[in-house]
Amino acid sequence: MSIEIVHVYRGNSIESIHRGDIVGVDRQGHVVLKYGDENKRTFWRSSAKPFQAIPMVEAGGIESFGFTTKELALMTSSHGGEEKHVMVLESILEKIGKNLTDLDCGEAKPIYGKAYKKLLMANRPYTAANNPCSGKHSCMLATGVLKEIDLKNYIDRNHPIQRLMLETISEVTELEPNDIDIAIDGCGVPVFGLPIYNMAKAYMKLSYTDAKDKRSQALGKIASAMVKEPYYVAGTSRLDTILMEETEGKILAKLGAESVYCVTIMNEGVGVAMKTEDGNNRALSQAIPDLLIKHGFITNTEYERIKERLNLLIKNHRQEVVGYMKTVF
């Protein structure tokens, strides 16, 4: 059963309550922290993206196409649609011989408000390149090019690319494919429903590499790209980027839609997964840093730097502070 995670105050009174579930898993698969139900089932949404890059990496795509760490990081991202993100996306497409019309993620306005405003002021339309999932889709296209797979309708759940995605997710989460729920994500591809325990278990695997194991090596390359180029995993003023920047890669973090959040404690070999019951992302910026400091995964200095960069106060339209949030687990 979900528990109260964050209280939202207006003045000195609680106005709203966010409930959720959190679990942390070590390298032996043991639960090392738990709030609520570790077997809470939900859709992994974009927090699955680092693992959806595995087939491309294992097929030698980094070497074949000469992908940079920025490009690999963008493939795991829910990026803000900022100019630098679009430039890297276009570079990926050029390297694999594809263009924007080959992306079937749909057009979407940039997540980053200033990027969207800039497009409006220039009277320019937003495109599939601004879609936060365009990096993932470019990675799927790259996988198809590498494996010589016909990419027509590549987003269809029965397409070889999507069957490969399900197979890979099954392996990293240690679940049978039939134990994974399938629905359609915001960008048109299949999305995976599973317990948060198995999400945490997969994120734990990003924390170490085994030179003798091909899968571990692929995960190591993906994790390294994410923590080295955190801006390309999310973007300006985003929690993922802030956590990875301020801890200098000690924390790997990835948001999923509907307030799913996954973290790897790189030097501890721990994976953490969280789901806020109401799907509101607002609770994450309050809860995640507090969780990390409570369990000793970050220092006080790192915690203070992270909090300084997050907008955690409740303000009215006059920009007056009228409330705040408080973690209660």
Burial class of 131 by CB neighbour count within 10 A (0 to 12, 13 to 18, 19+): buried
For 233, other C-beta atoms within 10 Å of its C-beta total 28
pLDDT at 158: 98
pLDDT at 212: 86
pLDDT at 211: 78
Q: In angstroms, rounded to a whole number, what is the distance separating the alpha carbons of residues 222 and 168?
A: 14
pLDDT at 209: 84
Q: In angstroms, rounded to a whole number, what is the distance separating the alpha carbons of residues 175 and 88?
A: 34
**By three-state DSSP, how is residue 209 classified?**
coil
Give counts: helices (H), strands (E), the chain: 13, 11
pLDDT by 10-residue block (mean), the chain, 329 residues: 97 98 97 98 98 98 98 98 98 98 97 94 94 98 98 98 98 98 98 98 94 93 98 98 98 98 97 97 97 98 97 94 97
**By three-state DSSP, how is residue 212 classified?**
coil
Q: In angstroms, rounded to a whole number, what is the distance separating the alpha carbons of residues 297 and 309?
A: 19
CA–CA–CA angle 229, 231, 237 (5° rounding): 150
For 298, other C-beta atoms within 10 Å of its C-beta total 22
Quote the DSSP letter at residue 159.
S
The DSSP annotation for 263-324 comes to EEETTTTEEEEEEETT--THHHHHHHHHHHHHTTSS-HHHHHHHHHTS--SEE-TT--EEEE
Q: In angstroms, rounded to a whole number, what is the distance separating the alpha carbons of residues 253 and 10?
A: 29
- H helical segments located in 174-295: 196-204, 214-228, 239-246, 282-294
pLDDT at 210: 85
Close Cβ partners of 319 (under 8 Å, ≥ 6 residues apart): none
pLDDT at 245: 98
pLDDT at 137: 98
Which among 39, 23, 27 is positioned nearest to 295, based on CA atoms? 23
Write the CATH number of the domain with boundaries 3-327: 3.40.710
pLDDT at 263: 98
